[in-house]
Amino acid sequence: MTSTPASPANIWVFDFSEGDRTKVDLLGGKGANLAEMTRMGLPVPPGFTITTEACRYFLEHGHGPEGLRTQIAQHTARLEQEMGRNLGDPEDPLLVSVRSGARFSMPGMMETVLNIGLNDASVAGLTRQSGDEHFAWDSYRRLIQMFGKTVLGLDGDDFEHALDQMKSSAGVMTDVELPVEALKRLVDVYKSIVREGTGHEFPQDPHQQLDLAIRSVFHSWNTERARLYRRQERIPHTLGTAVNVQAMAFGNAGPGSGTGVAFTRDPGTGATGIYGDYLPDAQGEDVVAGIRNTLPLQELESLDPASYEQLMDIMHKLETHYRDLCDIEFTIERGKLWMLQTRVGKRTAAAAFRIAVQLVDEGLISMDEALMRVTGHQLSQLMFPRFASGSDHPRIAKGMNASPGAAVGRVVFDSSTAVKWTQAGERVILVRRETNPDDLEGMIAAAGILTSRGGKTSHAAVVARGMGKTAVCGAESLDVDTKGRVMVTSAGETIAEGDVVSIDGSTGDVFLGEVPVVPSAVVMYFEHGLEKALEDVDDETAELIKAVDRIMMRADKDRRLRVRANADTPEDSVRARHMGAEGIGLLRTEHMFLGERKTHVERLILADSDQERQEALDALLPLQRKDFIRILEAMDGLPVTIRLIDPPLHEFLPDLTELAVRVALAESRGENAESDLRLLQAVNRLHEQNPMLGLRGVRLGLVLPGLFALQVRAIAEAACFRQRMGGDPRAEIMIPLVGSIQELELVIDEAAHVLKEVAEAHGCTLRFPIGTMIELPRAALTAGQIAEAAEFFSFGTNDLTQTTWGFSRDDVEAAFFSAYLEKGVFGVSPFESIDREGVGELVRIAVKKGRAKRHNLHCGVCGEHGGDPESIHFIDEVGLDYVSCSPFRVPVARLEAGRAAIARHVARSDTR
């Protein structure tokens, strides 16, 4: 946090008439927009803004910067002069509000105090000024209540309880109905709460009230709820908040007064029209708190036609001026309309797409601007099925929202049961403590995945996202007993195999029973096209689909980055192509060795002779060749980057402990355990303390003769078959975990020999690019050397993040990531968005060095970051050629690649 002021000449306070919306970093969103409305000549109560720089200085030093008190006093005096009243004057008091206002909207996260300036003397002056004793005492009790809770830190329930007791004794239902004498007694009760809670009287000096309120708003920047909100929204903790001091407009001044919130369009759907709420005889917090039922905004037209007509005119002016949906707060005081706030309104994902296209059609923005008004995150929200709202099913647990969507099914506790039940027509939820590669078949079969361990980058999460499968991970309150086939909730409720649960991958919620699910029409559009998606949908959905279509067409036109998919099966490949993938950027061949084929892998590992090893390889060859034929057919004419087997071989063998127990039991019973014993010896031989840094990737191909050659031969023969069938196979061979050029050259020599042999035997032309994954820091730093042999680089940013940070992805999230996020070590998990300063810098170095050696070096990213919106902008900036992500994320990547291209163009234009 810096203490160096950015405001000119150490100016810490600005009048509303001195700013505009371009000064949002200095004045915060609320202050900048109040200044903008003032410049537009709209009816805004006068006031001033204390800058975010002042807040940052205060939070760093524990006191305000030199000159701040003087500037506040000067602006307060100017406000008093403009209003013709003095703060706290017992005859004719000026009252002000003190509100927060950060650079980014944080609704309800920081403090607001209204009616500053009231005390035991000025309440009488307000009564004389307004001619309404009820209004004056109601305003005074509101000040003490808000001040006590937000500034003095007292329990708000104490004030609410006193208010309820007073309403009960007065025989009324609402605070508006309290008689004046009851309000006076309530003020005395509130002051006693302050006295007992703080040991001091409620402050009567209005300038002390103002000073304490400003300090409270500064401090509210670092409350737990504010920090949590910023973490969720990825807002930096270093920005600070501005403070807005504004003359009060009283919506609680009796008949002809009220307060409301309005939107220039429906923020839920994007539909045009007037949306909002109005509450007569109330102050602003009453609408938000929901203590009274509001009226639809349209009813204001009959209550106060003149104010309604003026409000409609202002709403139109603001939306035209901001060229976007506007969120507006207003107050009417005795028939006089005042604008208290405007901002570009938050909206749902569906509304964002519809509004963006509407504004294009209305001539307010261009299609490029429309593309910049939506995000990949919003598009992904539209693609996942959701639970219908209004469900009363009990929530039994909450975990991490690992892979969005809504899934309902019967609980099963192992992969084989998931497959069996699914084949019998059941929808199932696979429940595990955590998943591993052996669970893949069950994960594919299941409607959703629930684990009690792991995080957003655990195996379950990564694989689920790759498949577009709903997943909730790390639901720690669930005690999962896979052997007993039950799980027990924190409340002690037992859920057995076969019981129905519903999981929400967008929120992490787990429900008992079947919650109704609403499917996504947007996925139908991507998979089957516009015409098919528009069949049998309502007008609102049709408008949304058309909006998505227009924006996606623009994104594809603008983007430079190509988008490929991570796909391991023909089915994934077909779906990826429907989603707009321009090839496969990562085909993980290890998934082809699971299931029944594990027997052949075991034979390969246990082979005692070259002949046994060759027999195992010969058995695998036709299976691999068939897989590649189908995938090359699905992606005909598009590149398919095939990664040779990467994980350590022990992953294809039984668990060491379980196997040892099995052998011991067999021997104790005098049974023949020779087969299991050989297997146990192999597992012991291959056992590693840190297998992710052990015998895997290129190392495995060099140590285990024939393994990589088998895969290259299968690829080559599949390509020859596709050529004979008239196809256009475009395979690319990728070597994993390379750390030196020598490793790569050895594999390339072996592969070249196999390719030549197959081409001559089958009479086909085989020209496959051979490249490598860059997933080790050494590979990035020596990329110039490696590029002498590699024809392309694909950055495996998952492993590159692990090896750069020294993290074990499967362990660190649960162990200390929450603490790191809380302490600000990083703002977001480096496995979710690429670490630009560390991992990103290695990517920059590798691209620069690699292209210096081989100018036409093709570079892409195939890690999880390839589908992350923030990371895609960095990848475009660095100059890579493509990203590769799960099929389900391909549309998101296409959209963000288009947005990145526009952002890059705008940035270049700004520097000229």
Which residue, 605, 609, 604, 631, is CA-closest to 619? 604
Q: Which residues contact 678 (CB under 8 A, 6 or more apart)?
A: 606
Active-site option among 859, 862, 865, 873: 862
Which residue, 284, 300, 315, is CA-closest to 42? 315
Please provide the DSSP assignment of 568-595 as one string: -SHHHHHHHHHTT--SEEEEEGGGGGSG
**Residue 44 region by backbone torsions, left for phi larger than 0, else alpha for psi between -120 and 50, else beta:** beta
Is-contact 784 747, C-beta < 8 A?
A: no
What is the b/e burial string over 827-838, where b = at least 16 CB atoms within 10 angstroms of the residue's CB?
bebbbbbbbbeb
Q: Which residues contact 907 (CB under 8 A, 6 or more apart)?
A: none
Q: Phi then psi for 353, rounded to 5 degrees?
A: -70, -45
Residue 825 identity: V
Active-site option among 75, 134, 219, 459: 459
Q: Which residues contact 212 (CB under 8 A, 6 or more apart)?
A: 147, 151, 203
**Residue 823 region by backbone torsions, left for phi larger than 0, else alpha for psi between -120 and 50, else beta:** alpha
Is-contact 69 77, C-beta < 8 A?
A: no
Is-contact 792 857, C-beta < 8 A?
A: yes
> Could you give the count of Cα atoms lying within 13 Å of 538 in the half-sphere of its Cβ?
2
DSSP conformation class of 708: H
Counting every residue written for the chain, the total comes to: 912
Residue 60 CA to residue 772 CA, distance in Å, equals: 48
Is-contact 56 2, C-beta < 8 A?
A: yes
Whether 473 is catalytic is no
What sections of 330-489 are H helices per DSSP?
349-361, 367-372, 376-383, 415-423, 440-445, 459-467
Residue 57 CA to residue 249 CA, distance in Å, equals: 31
Q: Phi then psi for 324, rounded to 5 degrees?
A: -170, 165
Angle at 175 between CA 170 and CA 179, to 5 degrees: 50
Q: Any idea of the CA torsion for 349, 354, 356, 360, to the nearest 10 degrees?
A: 170
Whether 762 is catalytic is no
Count of Cβ atoms closer than 10 Å to residue 877 Cβ? 15
Residue 767 vs residues 430, 715, 756, 801: alpha-carbon distances, Å: 43, 12, 10, 32
Residue 396 CA to residue 403 CA, distance in Å, equals: 19
Residue 463 CA to residue 362 CA, distance in Å, equals: 43
Residue 206 CA to residue 198 CA, distance in Å, equals: 18
Q: Can you read off the two tokens belonging to residue 40?
A: 């537009």
Query: Which residues have a catalytic role annotated?
Result: 459, 862
